[in-house]
Amino acid sequence: MEGMDHLAHERNKTEFDVDAMKIVWAGSRHAFELSDRMARLVASDPAFRKDDRTRLGRKGILRLTEEEAGQLRNFVDEPSFTDLHWGMFVPAIKGQGTDEQQQKWLPLAYKMQIIGCYAQTELGHGSNVQGLETTATFDPDTDEFVIHSPTLTSSKWWPGGLGKISTHAIVYARLITNGQEHGVHGFIVQLRSLDDHMPLPGITIGDIGMKFGNGAYNTMDNGVLKFDHIRIPRNQMLMRVLQVTREGKCVQSNVPRQLIYGTMVFVRQTIVADASTALSRAVCIATRYSAVRRQFGSQDGGMETQVIDYKTQQSRLFPLLASAYAFRFVGEWLKWLYMDVTQRLQAKDFSTLPEAHACTAGLKSLTTTATADAIEECRKLCGGHGYLCASGLPELFAVYVPACTYEGDNVVLLLQVARFLMKTDLLHCCCDVQRAEDWLKPGVVLEAFEARSARMCVACAKNLSKFENPEDGFAELSADLVEAAVAHCQLIVVSKFIDKLQQDIPGKGVKQQLQNLCYIYVVNLVHKYLGDFLSTGCITPKQASLANDQLRSLYSQIRPNAIALVDAFNYTDHYLGSVLGRSDGNVYPKLYEEAWKDPLNDSVVPDGYHEYVHPMLKQQLRNARL
Amino acid sequence: MEGMDHLAHERNKTEFDVDAMKIVWAGSRHAFELSDRMARLVASDPAFRKDDRTRLGRKGILRLTEEEAGQLRNFVDEPSFTDLHWGMFVPAIKGQGTDEQQQKWLPLAYKMQIIGCYAQTELGHGSNVQGLETTATFDPDTDEFVIHSPTLTSSKWWPGGLGKISTHAIVYARLITNGQEHGVHGFIVQLRSLDDHMPLPGITIGDIGMKFGNGAYNTMDNGVLKFDHIRIPRNQMLMRVLQVTREGKCVQSNVPRQLIYGTMVFVRQTIVADASTALSRAVCIATRYSAVRRQFGSQDGGMETQVIDYKTQQSRLFPLLASAYAFRFVGEWLKWLYMDVTQRLQAKDFSTLPEAHACTAGLKSLTTTATADAIEECRKLCGGHGYLCASGLPELFAVYVPACTYEGDNVVLLLQVARFLMKTDLLHCCCDVQRAEDWLKPGVVLEAFEARSARMCVACAKNLSKFENPEDGFAELSADLVEAAVAHCQLIVVSKFIDKLQQDIPGKGVKQQLQNLCYIYVVNLVHKYLGDFLSTGCITPKQASLANDQLRSLYSQIRPNAIALVDAFNYTDHYLGSVLGRSDGNVYPKLYEEAWKDPLNDSVVPDGYHEYVHPMLKQQLRNARL
Ligand SMILES: Cc1cc2nc3c(=O)[nH]c(=O)nc-3n(C[C@H](O)[C@H](O)[C@H](O)COP(=O)(O)OP(=O)(O)OC[C@H]3O[C@@H](n4cnc5c(N)ncnc54)[C@H](O)[C@@H]3O)c2cc1C
Ligand SMILES: Cc1cc2nc3c(=O)[nH]c(=O)nc-3n(C[C@H](O)[C@H](O)[C@H](O)COP(=O)(O)OP(=O)(O)OC[C@H]3O[C@@H](n4cnc5c(N)ncnc54)[C@H](O)[C@@H]3O)c2cc1C
Ligand SMILES: [Ca+2]
C-alpha cells in the first residue's frame, strides 16, 4: 500500500493543467517555487514535527514554540510569540515612533535583543479602545511617565507573547499631563529583566490560561499584566503624531493621523490572505477524504459510492472550494489596494483611504466568518472520523476561530462598513436572467449583486430617515445594516473574482475551471441569500429556480476536477497535518496506526483499573447505579 | 464584591414569575425539585470538581471517569463509558434479546458485573450499516459463531467505552450460515478477562486517540477492536427477531422487525432533549455575560452600554434563547410520541411508526445542527473572553458537535425525512399578514409554515417526476430535498411551540414570555429562510418587511426579561462551568483569579528560558530571524 496513490483514479479525470493552476493559486511562478521548496524542507526536518501536539500538556506545548523560535517562522505551523513581535510590536514602532525612536528600538527588535508584544486590550475593554483604563501620567519633576493600572479591569489581558516571553511591550494607555486627559497613546515599556527574565518591580505578569482546543492557540502565551506606578522616560511614548514636551505640553506633529490607518489596512489584508489559506487547507482535507470515503450504493458486490458523488456532499463542499479561490483573489486585490494607498499617502493623497479602510474591515469580517464556518462544515463532511484530532480539522478550527474576534470583532467591523455605506451614493438596475445559462454572464451577475447591495442600502437609508436622531436610527436598525454591509462585501468579492477572469491565464483548461469556481461562488450566494435578492425585487422566483438548476450543472462540471483543484494548493502532507487529507488517499491504515500512539495505549490494562474498575466488577463498590 | 449580585439590576426588570417559569422549563414541579436538589448536592461535593479538566493530560482526563463511575451519573457532566453501557448495551439486549437472553445478561449488566459497549461502526463503515464487514460465521461442528475481522477496514472503530473499560460488547456482524449471508445482526461478545482485564486471545483493543477539544469527549475511551476468529456460543447472537437453529438454519420469529425502530425513536428523542439542555446552557452564559459586558456608548463619564442592548447582539442572541425553549417543548412532545408509539406497538398497531420515525430523525438532525451552530455563536457573542476555556463555551462546543454525526449523520437523516415526505399527500394555502402584529397570530403563522413546507415538497415532487428513474431523480435533487425536509421539521417545532401556548400555564407573566419567545423563534425563521417563503410565494416582500419590524419589537419586549429567562433554566454555577456565565455576574475578578491556575504560571520564569530565550536575547543563537 505504501507508495501507492489511492487517488490516482481521481487525478486521471482532471481536465486542466494542475501545474499551471498551482502558479495561479500561488500568485506567480516565483512565489510557487519558493513556497514549494520551503514546504518540502520543513516537512523533512524532525524539528518541525507537529503530529504529537494535541497530546502534550500545556507546558510541553509552549516549549515547542521556544525551540523553533529562530527558525523558518512561516513554516512553523502554530501561533507563536514571534507573531506579535514581528507583526505588531515592530510595525507599531515603525508606524507610530519618531525617527529617533525608530533608530533606537528597531535594531534591538530586529536582532531580537529585546522581544516585544502589543498590549492594547484589557480585561474590561477590547473593541472600545478609547475606553481603556491604564493611565500614563506625565511627571514633570523627573521627566517620566508613570504607567499605572488603576483597577482590576484595567489589567492588560490577551496580548500574545506577553505571558511568559516578552521583555518589552507597546502599552496603550490614557495620556494625562497637567491633570488633563489626552486620549489613548502607545508607550514602550520594559517588562522583564534582560538578565534573569524576572518581571521588573511593580509589574505583575502571567499567562491567562487555556484557550479553545488542545494544541491550537495554546502554543501562544497570551498574557495578563498589571502595573503599579511604573516609571518610564518621556521619550518612550510613541510620538510620531503627538508629542509631549519637557514641560508636559501636548503638541500635534505635522504627520497626519490617517497614517495610522495604513497599518490597520495592512494587518487586515494579511488576515484576508490567511483566511484563504486556512479555508483551502480544510477544503483540501474534506475533498480528498470525500473521494476516499465510500458509503452505500454498492450494486451486486461492486464498490460503494464515493461520498463526493452525493449531491448533498457537493452542494456543501464545492461552494467552499470556490470560496477558497474567491478569497485568494480578493486577497491579492487587497494587497494591491494596500500598496496603492501607501503610495498615495506618501504623496499626501488621502482620498481613497476611507474606502480602503471600509473595504478591508468588511472583507476581514466576511472572509473570517465564512472560513470559520467552512472549517467546521468540512469537519462534518468527514463524518465521524472528522471528529478525531488526527483529521487535523478540530485543531484547525480551534486555532482559526479567534480571527473572527481579534483585529476587530466581526460584527463591530460590519457596522463600520454600514456607516461608510450610508454616506455613499447608490445606483439602481435590474436582472436579465431568462435561462439557466444566463447566470454565467458576468454582466448579468454583477448587475444582480450591485442591485441587491444598492437596494438593501437604500432600504436602510429610507428607514433611517424616519428617525429624528440618525444615531438612534442606526442603533435601532443595526441588524439590517449589518446585512447590507455583508451584501456589499460579497459584491466586492464577486467583482474581483470576475475581474480575475478577464486576465490572461495560461495553462490548459485553467481558466475554464476558475470560471466554474467563480460561478459556483456566485450562484451559491444567490441561493443562500435568496431572501435578499427576492425581497429587493432584484430577481424573480423563476430566475431563482434557474439559478438552482445552473448550480447543479456547475457541480457536475467541477466534480471530476475536484481533487486536482485541491492538489493545486500544493500543500504537503506535513503542512496539512491530516490523516484524512493525505495526498495519497491511504487513509485507513494510517488512521489505524495513528490510534496506537495515544498515551492511553501505553498499557493494555488502563491505569486505575485496580482501584476503580475491578472492585466494581467484583461488586466491592457500594454505590454502583441501581 | 463576594456575595454581591452584579446582575441584580437586570433581575429587577423581570416582568414575570421566574419560579413558575422554572417549573415550565423543568416540565413539572417534581422534576424541578429533584433536579434542583441533585444539582446543589453535586455542586458542593469536591468529587465532582471539573474546573481543571482542560489542563489535565489524556490519562488524567480519563481517570476522572473511573473515579466517578458508580456515582450520580446524571450530574457527572462529561461523557463516560457508562453512557454506552446504560444507553446502548442494555437497551440492545432488552430490545433484541430473547427472553432467556434477557434473563441471563440483564442482571449482570444491571449490577455492572460486566460492562458493555455498542460496537457497530467500523473504520470503513458508519452510516451504511448494511455495509459492515465483520463476519459471524456459524460453525455447526461446535455450535459456535466465529467472529472475525477479515480486513483492516472491518476493525470496529468509535464505540464509546470500548478502548479501555468494557468487558463485553454487542458486536454487529454479517451473519453467515452454511455459506450463505443473512444480513447484519448483533452478538454478545466477551472482550476482556473478568479477572485481570486483559483482552482475550485473538482480540486486539485500543483507544482511537484524541478527539476535538481539551477535556470534551476525551473523557470517553472510544475504541478500536479487531477479531481473529473468536468463538462464541450460538446463544450469544441476539435472536429476538431472527433465530439460528442448531443446524444453522435461519428462522424469522413472529416478533415484528419494526420493534427495533422503537429503540431508535427512543435514543433520538433523548438527543433532542439534550440539544435543548446544551443550547440553554450556552445561551445562559452568553446572556449573562452580555449583560455584564459593557463596551462603548459612555456619555459624559457615565457607564458604557451593556452589549446586550445592541440590536445586533439581540438579533443574534434572542433567537437562540427562543430556540432553547422551542426545542425543550418539541422534546417534551417527542417523549409523549415515543410512549404513544410504544403502547401502539404493544397492541400491534404499527400505523404511526413511519411518521414517528421520520419525525424523530428529522428533529434529531434539526436540533443538533442548530445547537452546535448556536453554541459557537454564543462563544462569539462573548468576544475575546469567549475563546478562553474558562468561559466554558469551547469545551461545550467540542463535546457537543459529534451529536451532529452519531446516531445518524444529520444530512443522511434529512434525506430519510425527504423520502418519507415524497410519499405524503400535500395541501395548499396562503398567508394573511397585513400588519406587523399579524405575525403574532398562530393561525397565520402556521399557515405560512405549512404552505412553505408543502410547496417546497410539491416543487421537489414535480421535479422528481421529470426523471424516468425516481432514484436518479432523488439523487440528483437531494440538496433541494434536504431543504424541504428542514422546512418540514421547522414546521413541527413551530406547531408544537404553538400547541404549548394553548395549554394552561400558571405564574404571573409566564405565558406572555413564552409567547414572545415563540414568535421570536417563528419570525426569525421567516427572516432567515426568507428565500423559501418568497420563492414559493407564501409571503410577499412587504410581509417580509413587516416580519422584520415585528422582530425588532419582540426583541425589545424580551430584553428586560432576558436574564430571568435564563435564570429559569435553574443551572448552578457548577453545572454551567463558566466564569462568564456566573449567576452573580462577578466576571472580572474571577477571570483574573482563574488565570493564575494555569500550569504555566507555576513559575515566573518559564521552563526553557535558559535554553532558548536567554541565548537568543544575548545573541548567542545563530539563526534568529533577520
Ligand atoms: C486569540 C486572541 C489573541 C489576541 N491577541 C491580542 C494582542 O496581541 N494584543 C491585544 O491588545 N489584544 C489581543 N486580543 C484581544 C482582541 O483584540 C479583542 O478580544 C477583540 O478586539 C474583541 O474585543 P472584546 O473582546 O472586547 O469583545 P467585545 O467588544 O466585548 O464583544 C462582545 C460582544 O459585544 C458586541 N459588541 C461590542 N461592541 C459593540 C457595538 N458597538 N455594537 C454592537 N455590538 C457590539 C460584539 O459584537 C460581541 O458580540 C486577542 C484576542 C484573542 C481572542
Ligand atoms: C463521538 C462519537 C461517538 C461514537 N460512538 C459510537 C458508538 O458508541 N458505537 C458505534 O457503533 N459508533 C459510534 N460512533 C460512530 C458514529 O455512529 C458514526 O460516525 C456515524 O454513524 C456517522 O457515520 P460515518 O462516520 O460513517 O460518516 P459517513 O457516512 O462516512 O459520512 C461522511 C460524509 O458522507 C455523507 N454521506 C454518507 N452517506 C450519504 C448518503 N447516502 N447520501 C448523502 N451523503 C452521504 C455524510 O453526510 C457526510 O458528510 C461514534 C461517533 C462519534 C463521532
Ligand atoms: Ca512548535
Closest partner CB to B600 (pick from A164, A390, A625) = A164
Rounded to whole angstroms, what are the CA distances from A429 to A240, A446, A494? 47, 10, 17
pLDDT attached to residue B467: 92
**Cα gap B225→B117, rounded to integer Å:** 12
Say whether pLDDT at A67 is over 50. no
Residue B553: CB atoms within 10 Å: 17
Amino acid occupying residue A337: L
Say whether pLDDT at B427 is over 50. no
Instruction: Kindly list the structural domains of chain A, giving each domain's residue range(s) and its CATH number in brackets, ordered by start.
Output: 82-255 (2.40.110.10), 260-567 (1.20.140.10)
Q: How high is the ipTM of this complex?
A: 0.89
Confidence at B70, pLDDT banded by 50, 70, 90: very low
Q: A117-127 in b/e burial notation, b at 16+ Cβ within 10 A?
A: bbbbbbbbbbb
Q: A333-362 in b/e burial notation, b at 16+ Cβ within 10 A?
A: bbbebbeebeebbeeeeeeebeebbbbbbb
More confident residue, A401 or B86: A401
Q: Which residues of B touch A111 (CB under 8 A)?
A: 619, 624, 626
pLDDT attached to residue A52: 67
Using only the alpha carbons of chain A, give its radius of gyration.
27
pLDDT attached to residue B68: 45
Q: Is B209 within 8 Å of A86 when comparing Cβ atoms?
A: no
Whether residue B248 contacts residue B138, with contact meaning beta carbons closer than 8 Å, is answered with yes
By residue count, chain A amounts to 626
Confidence at A427, pLDDT banded by 50, 70, 90: very low
Say whether pLDDT at A414 is over 70. yes
pLDDT attached to residue A300: 74
Q: Please state which of the ranges A255-269, A311-325, B394-408 shows the lowest mean pLDDT.
A: A255-269
Round the average pLDDT of chain B to a whole number and report it: 89
pLDDT attached to residue B2: 63
Q: Containing H/E element for B139?
A: strand B135-139
Name the residue at shortest CA distance from atom 8 of ligand 1. A159
Tell me the mean pLDDT in the region B3-24: 92
Ligand 1 environment, Cβ below 6 A: A 84, 118-121, 126-127, 158-160, 217, 222, 402, 405-406, 409, 411-412, 415; B 293, 295-296, 307, 310, 312-313, 381, 383-385, 387
Tell me the mean pLDDT in the region A38-50: 75
Q: Is A66 within 8 Å of B612 when comparing Cβ atoms?
A: yes
Closest partner CB to A59 (pick from B157, B386, B599) = B599
Which range in A612-626, B19-33, B413-427 is most confidently predicted, on average pLDDT? B19-33
Whether residue B417 contacts residue B491, with contact meaning beta carbons closer than 8 Å, is answered with no
SS3 at position A366: helix
Grid coordinates representing A461 are 437609508
Q: Which residues of A touch B589 (CB under 8 A)?
A: 152
Grid coordinates representing A486 are 455583508
**Cα gap B168→B170, rounded to integer Å:** 7
Closest partner CB to A591 (pick from B123, B476, B527) = B123
Q: A191 C-alpha to center of ligand 3: Å?
A: 24
pLDDT digits (tens, 9 = 90+) for A554-595: 999 999 999 999 999 999 998 889 999 999 999 999 999 999
pLDDT attached to residue A64: 46
Residue B431: CB atoms within 10 Å: 21
pLDDT attached to residue A61: 59
Mutate to test the interface with B, among A76, A190, A312 (most CBs of B within 10 A): A312
Question: What's the DSSP call for residue B74?
Answer: G
Find where cell 514636551 sits: A245
Q: Is B588 within 8 Å of A123 when comparing Cβ atoms?
A: yes
Of B133, B407, B450, B483, the catalytic one is: B407
pLDDT attached to residue B229: 98
Say whether pLDDT at A542 is over 80. yes
Rounded to whole angstroms, what are the CA distances from B6 to A444, B3, B321, B390, B578? 55, 9, 21, 19, 16
Between chain A and chain B, the number of residue pairs with CB atoms below 8 A apart is: 392
Confidence at A543, pLDDT banded by 50, 70, 90: very high
pLDDT attached to residue B66: 43
Tell me the mean pLDDT in the region A89-116: 93
Name the residue at shortest CA distance from atom 34 of ligand 2. A307
**Cα gap A439→A523, rounded to integer Å:** 7
Give the whole-number percent of chain A exceeding pLDDT 90. Answer: 70
Name the residue at shortest CA distance from atom 53 of ligand 2. A384
Give the whole-number percent of chain B exceeding pLDDT 70. Answer: 93
Q: Is B181 a catalytic residue?
A: no
pLDDT attached to residue A541: 94
Q: B125 C-alpha to center of ligand 2: Å?
A: 8
Say whether pLDDT at A58 is over 70. no
Max CA separation in chain B (angstroms): 92
Grid coordinates representing B378 are 454564543
Q: B205 C-alpha to center of ligand 2: Å?
A: 21
Rounded to whole angstroms, what are the CA distances from B455 to A141, B379, B391, B458, B523? 80, 36, 43, 5, 19
pLDDT digits (tens, 9 = 90+) for A499-537: 999 999 999 999 999 999 999 999 999 999 999 999 999
Question: What's the DSSP call for residue B198?
Answer: P
Q: Please state which of the ranges A28-32, A117-121, A132-136, A213-217 shows the lowest mean pLDDT.
A: A213-217
**Cα gap B208→B122, rounded to integer Å:** 12
SS3 assignment for A430-452: CCCCCCHHHHHCHHHHHHHHHHH
Query: How far separated are the first and last CA of chain B, in Å rounded?
Result: 50
**Cα gap B59→A519, rounded to integer Å:** 49
pLDDT attached to residue A598: 87
pLDDT attached to residue B345: 83
Tell me the mean pLDDT in the region B613-618: 79
pLDDT attached to residue B428: 46
Say whether pLDDT at B626 is over 50. no
pLDDT attached to residue B256: 75
Confidence at B509, pLDDT banded by 50, 70, 90: very high
**Cα gap A381→A384, rounded to integer Å:** 9
Say whether pLDDT at A199 is over 70. yes
Find where cell 463576594 sits: B2
Confidence at B605, pLDDT banded by 50, 70, 90: confident
Q: Which residues of A touch B114 (CB under 8 A)?
A: 617
**Distance (Å) from the C-alpha of residue A19 to the closest C-alpha of chain B?**
31
B203: Cβ contacts below 8 Å, ≥ 6 apart: B191, B192, B225, B226, B227, B228, B230
Whether residue B499 contacts residue B332, with contact meaning beta carbons closer than 8 Å, is answered with no
What secondary structure does DSSP assign to A395-428, as a single string? Answer: HHHHHHGGGGTTTS-HHHHHHHHHHHHTTS----
- Which residue of chain A is at minimal alpha-carbon distance from B598? A209
Name the residue at shortest CA distance from atom 25 of ligand 2. A384
Say whether pLDDT at A97 is over 70. yes
Q: A69-108 in b/e burial notation, b at 16+ Cβ within 10 A?
A: bbbeeebbbbbbbbbbbbbbbbbbbebbbbeebbeebeeb
More confident residue, B168 or B35: B168
**Cα gap A384→A367, rounded to integer Å:** 27
What secondary structure does DSSP assign to A602-626, as a single string? Answer: GSSSPTTIIIIIHHHHTT--TT---
Q: Sheet containing B203-207: which strands, arranged edge to edge? A: B156-157, B223-227, B203-207
Q: Containing H/E element for A245?
A: none
For CA atoms B320, B322, B324, B326, give the dihedral sign. negative
Whether residue A595 contacts residue A579, with contact meaning beta carbons closer than 8 Å, is answered with no
Rounded to the nearest 10 degrees, the angle between the axes of helix A259-292 and helix A393-400 is: 160
Query: How far separated are the first and last CA of chain A, in Å rounded?
Result: 50
Question: What's the DSSP call for residue A158?
Answer: -
Tell me the mean pLDDT in the region B222-229: 97
Confidence at B623, pLDDT banded by 50, 70, 90: very low
Whether residue B210 contacts residue B54, with contact meaning beta carbons closer than 8 Å, is answered with no
Whether residue A278 contacts residue A371, with contact meaning beta carbons closer than 8 Å, is answered with yes
Tell me the mean pLDDT in the region A33-38: 83
Confidence at A609, pLDDT banded by 50, 70, 90: confident
SS3 at position A246: coil
Tell me the mean pLDDT in the region A404-420: 93
Name the residue at shortest CA distance from atom 29 of ligand 2. B127
Whether residue B119 contacts residue B159, with contact meaning beta carbons closer than 8 Å, is answered with yes
pLDDT attached to residue B176: 98
Find where cell 413558575 sits: B20
By most ligand atoms within 8 Å of CB, the mutation choice from B405, B476, B481 for ligand 2 is B405
CA-wise closest residue to A486 among A576, A363, A333, A580? A363
By most ligand atoms within 8 Å of CB, the mutation choice from B305, B307, B312, B580 for ligand 1 is B307
Whether residue A221 contacts residue A114, with contact meaning beta carbons closer than 8 Å, is answered with no
Say whether pLDDT at B232 is over 80. yes
Closest partner CB to B605 (pick from A86, A197, A530) = A197
**Environment class of B518 (CB within 10 Å of its CB; exposed 0-12, middle 13-18, buried 19+):** buried
pLDDT attached to residue A516: 96
pLDDT attached to residue A66: 44
Q: A295 C-alpha to center of ligand 2: Å?
A: 10
pLDDT attached to residue B426: 52
Of A407, A437, A450, A468, the catalytic one is: A407
- For ligand 2, say whether the CB of A312 is within 6 Å of any of its atoms: yes
Q: A240-253 in b/e burial notation, b at 16+ Cβ within 10 A?
A: bbbebeeebebeee
Residue B209: CB atoms within 10 Å: 25
